[in-house]
Structure 1
Amino acid sequence: MSFGFVMNPNQESRLPAKAAHAKLRRANDARGELLMDEAVSETQGTTIADAPKAEKTEEGANKQGFAALTLGALGIVFGDIGTSPLYTLKTVLSDAGDHADQTVHLGALSLIVWTLIVVTTLKYVLLAMRIDNDGEGGILALMSLIGMKRESRPLIIAAGLFGAALIYGDGTITPAISVLSALEGLHTAIPSFDAYVLPATVVILGLLFLLQPFGTATIGRLFGPVMASWFLVIALLGIWGIAQNPSVLVGLSPTHAITYLAHGGFTGFALLGSVFLCVTGAEALYADMGHFGRKPIWAGWFIAVFPALILNYAGQTAIVMKGAPTKDNIFFQLCPHMLLVPLVLLATTATIIASQSIITGAFSMTRQAIQLGWLPRLMIRQTSDEGYGQIYVAPVNWLLMLATIGLALAFKKSDNLSAAYGMAVSTTMLLTTLLLFNAMREVMRWPIAVAGIVAAFFFIVDLGFFGSNLLKIPEGGWVPLALAVMIYTLMRIWHRGITAVHARLGETIQSIDTFFDGIERDGIARPEGTAVFLSRARSETPPLMIWHVRQNRCLYADVLIVTIQTALVPRVAPGKRYKVIQERENVWRVVINSGFMEHLSLEALPHALKAEGHDVDLCKVVYYVAHETIVRGRGDKRVLPRWVEKIFALMERNQAHLTDVLNLPSEQVVEIGRHIEL
């Protein structure tokens, strides 16, 4: 259990390069303003005559910082959606059947283009990214933002948690289908390579996960330039394809999409599930907003990514209308034969970068869930000093590796895996729309009629894609759903168990005055020294301290009661981080407020106490930490169903130790054990 960590009483993504660029930018609330920490010139002390020059220098530095952020966003945010041309149109036309004609081709192109416009551009880029939780985006941040408005919102919590669980499920498929699609391109240049596609995919994925513990801070700086090259190349390939059949541009009109859906019947509806593959990375744009800011992501999308995607999809459609076979990968047929191998290498690199985004996005979301109290403690290790985004979570890494490689081996080809792809993301997008409706009313203060019309429009679109993806369940769509249900269930069990533990510990609570009056009356020994008790209690005597005095009949002269409280915001301002209260003479209570995106530490504790007139040397204190064991309750003490108690006890037993999470020196730690009956 997470002793010493409590949630805010009102409450019920990604990459190494993200953190490197986070130095340049801090989200500055919903206005979308940017603070370029490394790009602001120091103008203090300049003369009036120097002021114009200083302003120009600052303006130039700001432009450089903005360009760096935009380039960084290209490498991190757009990896998933940017590699979708490798398999989307191929899957769409394959599902359309062998007798697809020009109506189908133009209808498919129109559906893809307008899906990118409606879902990615309108919903995520222009709407969702205007709603942030202290600069952070993503479904968990959105859930926390709306959850702050009221104390109990079970439907909001359920939608946010299940949406997060679905992202884990989909994250196991993205690396497998992306790398498979890229390597399958070698068939066009070297047909004999077919037998090596799957083994090579497994090797690449294995190496990718094996390298995670070492971090990718250095190589991460190359992600932006590599992905910028990727988008330039796919745009040029698209232009080359369009030049061969310019009439394809009529497919940009929405009339072809509407006509195809109107006359396509069930086949047209089923095709939406394949069309949806073009926006499977749209959620990342919102989730990564806190790392780069709204404006750099907007710039990257409108200037580079969106035009490149449209051109490439149009180019692929153009060569298909000219007679290119659809059984082979259409994307690679755009390329001249002599350049195929370099293109495959570039595509493979781009898919590895996209996969890296998924992996570290899972790390980031895991940290949020732990801090918010929905998952047990796990060791979260910083792989670089450059920023909070460069982290590594070993259990998540190895589980993702097993699931991803297992899916690649089970499905063998990207065509087979595409059937399982999209189910989780379409469900997440549906849930995000429900959360956005509440955010439009409560955060943006839109009239309910306006919010309802906007949400209804996106809900109908999302529902269409969701319904079409339901048809994929028998073909593999059940895999990410099953993973999501399992993760959601574990999060619910953990939260329910922790709530029960809090209630059980609350039965032994005493007031500070009652407790210390008692130890003075009983003559408890008070040797020199400082005791630090890590506790959930924000106002009363920690049960841990009561147990210690009861068992050992002594208590150090100076006592610090430390509670780490997770707020429903990503980061807490320095001035609001510590709350120091002197309860009695030589008895201090310190409440440390931590954001759900922040690293937990006690290093700054002495500074907070010194500001209140109390000096403490952390090298000389003794930390008291609880070590509880969950046991089956009997009679009235049984508060959890047996199966829930068993799973919760297993999770509690295997969570990371608080001493390790806070990096406490083992020689200064005293553990006190107790059985908790549930």
Structure 2
Amino acid sequence: MAHPRAAEAGKDPEDARLDKRFWLLVVGAIGVVYGDIGTSPLYAFREAVRAASGGSPANTEAVFGVLSLIFWALVLIVTLKYVIVLLRADNKGEGGTFALMALGLTVSKRSSPLLLALGVAGASFFYGDAVLTPAISVLSAVEGLALVSPVFERWIVPLALVVIVALFAVQSRGTARVAQFFGPLTVFWFLMLGGGGLWHVVDNPSVLAALNPWYGLQFLVSHGLLGLTVFGFVFLAVTGAEALYADLGHFGRKPIQVAWVGFVFPALMLNYMGQGALVLADASTIQNPFYRLYPEWALVPMVVLATAATVVASQAVITGAFSLARQAIQLGLLPRFAVRHTSEEMAGQIYLPRVNWLLLIGVVFTVVTFKSSSNLASAYGVSVTATLVINSLVAFFVLWKYWRWPLWKVAALMLPLLVVELTFFAANAMKFFEGAWFPVLVAAVLSLIMFTWMRGYRILSRITRRDETELDWLVRRLEAKPPARVPGTAVFLSADVNAAPTALMHNLKHNRVLHERNVVLSISTDTSKPRVPRHERVHIDRSNEMFTRVVATYGFMESPNIPKILEGCRRKDLNIDIGATSFFLSRRSLRPSSKSEMPRWQTRLFIWLARTSEDATTYFRIPTDRVVEVGTQVAI
């Protein structure tokens, strides 16, 4: 929002210099958006140069080649693709894999299966990233203690586990209080990154020549398979780039762009250049060039600061995992999970207990299995490169069909980026047996779960609709032969307001009564919008006196809330007192059928997922003492 004085002066409403809130958003973006990529200097340069040196002492060719590749990877992938292009491809101000997918779905129904498959794959690989990021970040920070004293070396894994368990344990309290410290802390972290690097660049300014792309290209061409391996490690410098787009809705395009170009990118490159200058001066520092940038007296403070920075980076990924899971639930890709809102002011502050503890188990397993950031480096790149490639493929479609760019123009922009990203992916895939199998396994399992849920739910809906009665037909029958009426209001939840809900039919069959007022309520998700304006949320149909149809529509980034739906009804002159209303819900008991359309193992998986689904009463926030559940058995 523009500053009032800026508007009066006729200035550009996006003039950052006159808008205090703009700079607060910039600081916030530095803390949340760039927390992940800001921890990459802890391990990216070290692992890439080690690989480039092939076990020999680090030499000028390896250092210059790696620095050149890091710089141009950040320019092409982060600056060009995300900061300049994708940040403009927003869906009502929101970004991320599902937001991009939803844009594509609005312009082409024929391509929807492919776009949906890409969206599912992108989300699945993101969770591989969500497991690996806290593990590699915290391990790489704590490993600095080994430089203080060799005694600490055997305590690295236990200390990392303590930090990780504490991080996940506080998630239920919400991130609102912690988040206010993220920005200033990460700003200080980036200042230390840039300052530590600048000190050594001044000592050896010739290292700046590595910005020439020739050094990177020459290294790749002249080293064959080794060059491709090094390319995979170079990609560690780009991890976290996907957060730029995913957090678009939280901070806006301009603050994210200004933070990157004016502060984060220069600080990162100064640090990488400083590490390069240090290693060229003393090849033995490749053991841990990041911490060697600083004097011995600053080592312990830097380890503490690095650990805090990795907690920030991990928190951003965990929060993203919560948000992505809620979107998947709303889009019908996952069963209902418990969603706890940890802030009354900020709708995005949510906590999903099941996702939190599953992530914790995954992160602890990763730390115990891989034991060091060097071992994890081989596993880390695959999930992020896969996410980047998928985003590029969907973006190609959006630029072509949604923005209506000429095909040649889209190809000229996106194909070179795709070639670079596919090369990154191939380089990381080469490390499959060294650890890259782990994020692939995580993504495969999650994709299987999501596709099973979608397929099973589609079959279940078809079976249910086959047995349902049209509400209009039921109304005619009830008008011809009215049942006994009882005082009060009954709300029947239904997937389709034009069909008579199962709970209604059972109530008529067994109790032979009908309430004075009956509301058939359907909650739907608009897959093309992240959020639905409040005034568009509720649609009421009073076409007959016996039943009132209510459709409440939510975006794919929102959580349904029945008490708030009833508030929306009151604003449209449909007064429903929640304390004097009975809510009738259908509870399906599923069992496998010998004629199931799915393989038996998949049918059982779907039934298990349905049984673990969050109770509708809790999920929709209905008062438990006002709920009547009617059970039915369905063979699927």
Same fold per superposition (TM over 0.5): yes
Residue from 159, 179, 182 that aligns with 1:200: 159
Pick the aligned partner of 2:577 from 617, 622, 628.
617
Q: Please give the secondary structure, in 2, of the residue aligned with 1:584.
A: coil
1:258 is displaced (CA, Å) by 1.1
Q: Displacement of 1:361 after TM fit?
A: 0.8
CA distance 1:538–1:425, change in 2 (3 Å)? same
Q: Does 1:398 align with 2:357?
A: yes
The residue number in structure 2 matching 1:126 is: 84
The corresponding residue for 1:66 is 22
1:586 to partner: Cα distance: 4.0
Cα pair distance change 1:599/1:54, threshold 3 Å: farther
Q: Which residues in structure 2 correspond to 1:339-418 (within 5 Å)?
A: 339-418=298-377
Relative to structure 2, which stretch is displaced further, 145-154 or 177-186?
145-154
Q: Give, in angstroms, the shift of residue 149 of structure 1.
A: 2.0
Q: 1:138 aligns with which of 75, 85, 96?
A: 96
* Cα distance in 1 for residues equivalent to 2:16 and 2:386: 43
SS class of match (2:579)? coil
Structure 1 residue 316 displacement after superposition: 0.3
Aligned CA distance change for structure 1 residues 52 and 643 (closer, same or farther; 3 Å): closer
Cα displacement (A) at 1:453:
2.1
| Distance in 1 of aligned mates of 2:376 and 2:471 | 60
Matching of residue 189 in structure 1 with residue 189 in structure 2 = no
Match of 2:633 in 1: 675
Give the Å deviation of 1:54.
12
Q: What do the CA deviations read for 1:9-53 (whole angstroms, capped 9, x no partner)?
A: xxxxxxxxxxxxxxxxxxxxxxxxxx37xx668x9xxxxxxx959
Query: How far apart are the structure 2 equivalents of 1:475 and 1:57?
Result: 52
The 10-residue stretch of structure 1 (611-620 or 411-420) with the greater mean CA deviation from structure 2: 611-620
Matched residue, 1:644: 602
Q: In the TM superposition, what are the counterparts of 1:248-647 in structure 2 within 5 Å? A: 248-568=207-527, 569-635=529-595, 638-647=596-605
CA contact (8 A) 1:560 1:590 kept: yes
**Aligned counterparts of 1:280 and 1:211: Cα–Cα separation in 2:** 25
Please name the residue that 1:85 is paired with.
Answer: 41
The answer for unaligned runs of 5 or more in structure 2 is none
Q: Distance in 2 between matches of 1:397 and 1:57?
A: 40
Contact 1:90/1:326, CA 8 A, preserved across alignment: no
- Residue of 74, 81, 90 corresponding to 1:116: 74
Contact 2:337–2:614 under 8 Å retained in 1:
yes
Q: Matches of 1:509 and 1:252 in 2, distance apart?
A: 67
1:210 & 1:585 partners in 2: Cα distance? 52
Measured in 2, the distance between the counterparts of 1:330 and 1:72 equals 29
Cα deviation, residue 270, structure 1: 1.3
The residue number in structure 2 matching 1:76 is 32
The code of the aligned residue for 2:575 comes to D
Shift of 1:284: 0.5
Letter matched to residue 125 of structure 1: V
State whether residues 278 and 285 of structure 2, in contact with CA within 8 Å, keep that contact through their aligned partners in structure 1. no
Cα distance between partner residues in 2 of 1:598 and 1:159: 22
Distance, in Å, in 1 between the alignment partners of 2:345 and 2:283 is: 48
State the distance in 2 between where 1:187 and 1:658 align: 51
Give the letter aligned to residue 609 of structure 1: C
Quote the Cα distance in structure 1 between the aligned partners of 2:524 and 2:41: 45
Q: Which amino acid aligns with 1:362?
A: A
Deviation at 1:540, TM superposition (A): 2.9
Counterpart-to-counterpart distance in 2, 1:375 and 1:278: 32
Q: Which amino acid aligns with 1:204?
A: V
Q: Is the 8 A contact 2:198 2:271 kept in 1?
A: yes
Q: Equivalents in 2 of 1:145, 1:529: separation in Å?
A: 44
Cα deviation, 1:29-88, whole Å, max 9, x if unaligned, reads: xxxxxx37xx668x9xxxxxxx95999999899611101111111110001101100000
**2:167 equivalent to 1:211:** no
Q: 1:62 to 1:371 in 2, by over 3 A?
A: farther
Shift of 1:324: 3.7
How far off its partner does 1:431 sit?
1.1
Given the alignment, which residue of 133, 151, 158 partners 2:109? 151
The alpha-carbon deviation at position 550 of structure 1 amounts to 2.0
Distance 1:259 1:319, change over 3 A: same
Shift of 1:227: 0.1
Letter in 1 for 2:55: D
- Contact 2:537 / 2:554 at 8 angstroms: preserved in 1? yes
Q: SS at the partner of 2:55?
A: coil
Residues 527, 555 of structure 1: 8 Å contact kept: yes
CA pair 169-57 structure 1, distance change in 2 beyond 3 A: closer
TM-score after normalising by structure 1: 0.90
CA pair 335-618 structure 1, distance change in 2 beyond 3 A: same
Equivalent residue in structure 2 for 1:104, among 48, 62, 66: 62
CA distance in 2: counterparts of 1:354 and 1:176, whole angstroms: 11
Structure-1 residue corresponding to 2:616: 658
Per-residue CA deviations over 1:188-236 (Å, capped at 9, x if unaligned) read 2223211111110010001111111112322220100000000011000
On the 8 A contact 1:93/1:326 being kept in 2, the answer is: no
How many residues matched?
632
Please give the per-residue CA displacement for 1:132-168, whole angstroms capped at 9, x wherever unaligned: 1111111111112211223342111111111110010
Secondary structure of the residue that 1:454 maps to in structure 2?
Answer: helix
User: For residues 521 and 362 of structure 1, what CA distance do their matches in structure 2 show?
Assistant: 53
CA RMSD of superposed structures (Å): 2.0
d(CA) in 2 for partners of 1:57, 1:110: 38
Distance in 2 (CA, whole Å) between partners of 1:189 and 1:604 is 56
Q: 1:624 to 1:473 in 2, by over 3 A?
A: same
Deviations 1:558-613 (A, max 9, x none): 11111111112111112211111113114211111101111311223344434444
Q: What amino acid maps onto 1:98 in structure 2?
A: G
How far does the alpha carbon of each residue in 1:332-379 deviate from its partner, in whole angstroms, 9 at most, with x for none?
110011111111111110001001111111001000000110000011
**Deviation per CA, 1:428-463, whole angstroms, max 9, x where unpaired?**
111111101101111211001111222211111111
What is the one-letter code of the residue matched to 1:591?
V
> Whose helix proportion is higher, 1 or 2?
2
Question: CA–CA distance in 2 between the matches of 1:622 and 1:405?
Answer: 45
Instruction: Using the TM superposition, give the Cα deviation of residue 264 of structure 1 relative to its aligned residue in structure 2, in angstroms.
Output: 1.4
1:465-518: CA deviation from partner (whole Å, max 9, x where unpaired): 011011110000000100100001000011111111110111123332310222
Q: Label 1:588 to 1:208 Cα distance change in 2 as closer, same or farther (>3 A).
A: same
**Separation in 2, partners of 1:57, 1:367:** 34
SS at match of 2:629: strand
In structure 1, the gaps of 5 or more residues are 1-34, 44-50
Contact 1:388 1:599 in 2 (8 A): no
1:556 alignment partner, SS class: strand
Q: Which residue of 1 aligns with 2:128?
A: 169
Tell me, in whole angstroms, the C-alpha distance in 2 between the residues paired with 1:326 and 1:468: 26
Task: Give the SS at the match of 1:173.
Answer: helix
Distance across 2 between alignment mates of 1:249 and 1:451: 33
Asked whether the 8 Å contact 2:127–2:443 carries over to 1, the reply is yes
| Counterparts of 1:611 and 1:585, CA distance in 2 | 20
